[in-house]
Amino acid sequence: MSERQKVYRFLTAIDDAGFCHKVTEALSQGWELYGSPSYAYDAKEGIMKCGQAVVKEVEPFDYDREVKLGAL
């Protein structure tokens, strides 16, 4: 049995229901929350933005910066 590999994503969006849906979608695909959410004011755009780190254990793969982590 091969050892699984952990991958990391940081989800961001405007502070609205879309952000909650983005995180919920990731959770439904097997991602797990990693740490606390972040919340910051974007002064240039005049809006609040949210962020949440998520991690997932996947089958080993050869890492490449072109890998679409959300598709794992």
The alpha carbon torsion through 41, 45, 47, 52 (nearest 10 deg) reads: -60
Q: Where are the domains of the chain?
A: 5-59
SS3 71: helix
Using CA atoms, how far apart are residues 70 and 44, in angstroms rounded to an integer?
A: 28
Q: Which fold has domain 5-59?
A: Alpha-Beta Plaits (3.30.70)
Segment 5-33 shows an average pLDDT of: 96
Share of the chain above pLDDT 90, in %: 82
Q: What is the pLDDT of residue 1?
A: 54
Local confidence band at 2 (pLDDT 50, 70, 90 cut-offs): low
Beta carbons of 4 and 57 less than 8 angstroms apart: yes
Q: What is the pLDDT of residue 71?
A: 87
Beta carbons of 5 and 59 less than 8 angstroms apart: yes
Segment 43-68 shows an average pLDDT of: 94
